[in-house]
Amino acid sequence: MRKVRNAITRTVAAAAVFAAGSVLTLGGSAAAAGAAATIHGCPSGAVCLYPNGSWANDKPTYIFYSYGAHKIYNQYGIKRIYNHQTGGATARNCYDAAGNNCGGYQKANTYADYDYTPYNSIRLVK
């Protein structure tokens, strides 16, 4: 009986160690995936506008997710825009608040520094 009990104890202990290792592995992978999805504070699938021409401690002033025009307020001087959208979507700086009269196309996964004084919106385009 003692041999059977020791065998069961070892089997249960081995299963517990395996399960704990699996949980740690999954947790590590999930954390790594989450970290990769956000770059400089900008989540995957978003367009982010930063308070100046740098990453500014990875804290964007604006984060936009949906296609269409997005008004921006009181943005003067040099700002950084980062297009972290997926699927080749682009972003455009626009002179009016309705997302019309826009400049060039900012490609996905690129950033640029612009003088935002004349701009009043950012348009996300599929």
The pair of structure tokens assigned to 84 is 């972290």
Residue 48 pLDDT > 90? yes
Instruction: Count each helix (H run) and each strand (E run) in the chain, helices first.
Output: 1, 9
pLDDT given at position 125: 94
Confidence at residue 116, expressed as pLDDT on a 0 to 100 scale: 96
Give 40 or 3, the one with higher predicted confidence.
Answer: 40
Residue spans of alpha helices (H) in 1-126: 2-37
Give the confidence band of 36 by pLDDT, cuts at 50, 70, 90.
low
Indicate whether 70 pLDDT > 90: yes
* Mean pLDDT score, 15-38: 43
CATH 2.60.20 for the 41-125 domain, yes or no:
yes
CA atoms within 13 A of residue 125's CA, in its CB half-sphere:
16
pLDDT of 1 > 80? The answer is no
Which range among 22-31, 49-58, 67-76, 90-99 shows the weakest confidence by mean pLDDT? Answer: 22-31
Q: Are 75 and 81 in contact (CB under 8 A)?
A: no
What's the mean pLDDT in 58-82?
A: 96
For the chain, which residues make up each domain, given as ranges? 2-38, 41-125
